[in-house]
A = this chain, B = another copy of it.
Amino acid sequence: MGNCAACCRGFWCRAKNPDVRISLPVVCFVWQIAMIILFGVFVRYDEESDAHWSEHKREKNITSDIENEFYYRYPSFQDVHVMIFVGFGFLMTFLKRYSFGGVGFNFLIAAFGLQWALLMQGWFHALDPADGQIKIGIENIINADFCVAGCLIAYGALLGKVSPVQLMVLTLFGIPLFAVEEYIILHVLHVRDAGGSMVIHTFGAYYGLTISWILYRPKLDQSKRLNGSGYHSDVFAMIGTLFLWMFWPSFNSAISDHGDGQHRAAINTYLALASSVLTTFAISSLSAKRGKLDMVHIQNATLAGGVAMGTAAEFMITPYGSLIVGFCCGIISTFGYLVITPFMEKYMKIQDTCGVHNLHAMPGVLGAVVGAITAATASESVYGHEGLVNTFDFKGKYAERTPATQGGFQAAGLCVALAFGIVGGAIVGFILRLPVWGDPSDDNCFDDEVYWEVPEDEESIPPILEYNIFTLHLHLVI
């Protein structure tokens, strides 16, 4: 028994070996081949992307090609796509020597995740009962990008401390967790959450934070010298911030209702984001000597308004309501970076590299609450009868549901998202603690050297200085 404990301790504590030469290729190949096989068995085009569309169009009396769902949603899809790859990717380049890992691993897991999401979400939402196959179209690929966002948020908490293989595992489990959670929230509870305050942000953040808690590294300050930004890496991160900020209206409106639904969701998100920016600058300036602004706040907390509008954006929350939500989120999120992240690291043993607790968890929860209240207080006088039915989809077996009940279900949805994030994160966290995934040692975190061939920097050998040293040598000789 003692022997076994010692053996176990040895197993868990053995020296880290961040060599992924076998594991990463194996994981990539095996999972990609699995995707191909599963797609071969299950995935086909839907009616609007199949070559039979012209027949389908005639059957359904659709008069024009422009009615194809593609034209309603493709511009929004491309904006969402940019958010996933450039937005999240570049936001994570802020560390001075982990830019390759930030943008590169983001690329890898998003590319895997979206395939896996098409399958998992397809089984839950898009299965054609006639032939047991998943029929995909533009809406599915938007949803796959959304699903991936949950895993990328989790990556934010772990940035610099995990291996690419661990990230692949995180994604492998994260996607089905997301799909089940989404199914329960959207279909079983019939909750509205078009921009995913609960489904994406709350889930993703708590999933990542719980994993980070389990992977806690007590000696992480051995990598302290690299756990910070550089001047240029901060500017790179602003590319990510701005593309997320600009395209968030598309994110929240991408899968909401045609017509006024998409239109309203875009406007509300646009306003909430603008409002977040001002309060973020205010708190950031207020908190520092001489009012100096901190790039970390500007890069992150300005986005909190978009997260918090994820549920309510398509509701009649009113323009000033959106501004209020953004106002509060900018404050809360910046405050989180100033106070809560250090507190969590010191007392709760949660190391959160990008501060996803401030950007996704708190605004996500707030957004869910705002959504529940807005739904509960909805009325026919504000929405009109048809508008109310369309917005909350009070049709079929939900025809009898009232706004007040809907508010309750919205709140229940938040609990589901939290539960999936925390429980799922705990399980996956323990899996990721297995000492087989090639994660870096504590003094080697936040360093691209571990997983990348890093070029020597031209700039670091300035010829003018070499010359000085040379003349100095001459002086010496003389």
CB-contact partner of A274 in B114, B283, B465, under 8 A: B114
Residues A260 and B24 in contact, CB atoms below 8 Å apart: no
Indicate if the CB atoms of B384 and A52 lie closer than 8 Å: yes
Closest chain-B Cβ to A309's Cβ sits at a distance in Å of 14
- CA–CA, A68 to B265, complex, Å? 14
Given the interface contacts A24-B285, A28-B282, A451-B291, does A89 sit within 8 Å of B242 by beta carbon?
Answer: yes
Is the beta-carbon distance between B236 and A235 smaller than 8 angstroms? yes
Which residues from chain B contact A412 at a C-beta distance below 8 Å?
none
Known contacts A323-B35, A455-B231; is A111 also within 8 Å of B273 by CB? yes
Contact B35 A107, beta carbon cutoff 8 Å = no
Task: Indicate whether A320 reaches chain B with its CB closer than 8 angstroms.
Answer: yes
Of the A-B pairs whose beta carbons lie under 8 Å apart in the complex, a sample of 6, sorted by A's number, is A32-B279, A66-B71, A89-B238, A107-B298, A111-B273, A112-B278
Residues of the B chain whose Cβ atoms lie less than 8 Å from the Cβ of A97: 231, 458
Asked if A282 meets B461 with Cβ closer than 8 Å, knowing A49-B264, A96-B455, A231-B454, the reply is no
Q: Which of A73-81, A341-349, A423-431 contacts B (4 or more CB under 8 A)?
A: A73-81
A388 interface residue per 8 A CB criterion: yes
Q: Which residues of B contact A25 (CB under 8 A)?
A: 281-283, 285-286, 291
A residues contacting the other copy or chain, number (CB 8 A)? 154
A22 at the interface (CB under 8 A from B): yes
Nearest chain B residue, comparing its CB with the CB of A296: B453
Q: Would A48 and B292 be within 8 Å (CB), given that A54-B390, A274-B112 are in contact?
A: no
Query: Which residues on B sit within 8 Å (CB–CB) of A49?
Result: 260, 263-264, 267
Residue A131 interfacial (CB < 8 Å) = no
Q: Which residues of B contact A231 (CB under 8 A)?
A: 97, 99, 454-455, 457
With A278-B28, A278-B32 as known contacts, state yes or no: A21 contacts B288, CB within 8 Å.
Answer: yes
- List the B side residues contacting A459 at CB < 8 Å: 230, 457, 459-460
A20 at the interface (CB under 8 A from B): yes
For A39, A263, A384, the residue with the greatest tally of chain B CB atoms inside 10 Å of its CB is A263
Q: Tell me, in angstroms, the Cα distance from A43 to B274 when the chains sit together.
A: 15
A55 near B451: Cβ-Cβ < 8 Å: no
Q: How far is the CA of A85 from the CA of B248 in the complex (A)?
A: 13
Question: Which residue of chain B has its CB nearest to the CB of A267?
Answer: B49
A91 to B258, CA, bound (A): 36
Contact between chains at B93 and A235 (CB < 8 Å): yes
User: In the complex, what distance in Å separates the CA atom of A451 from the CA atom of B37?
Assistant: 52
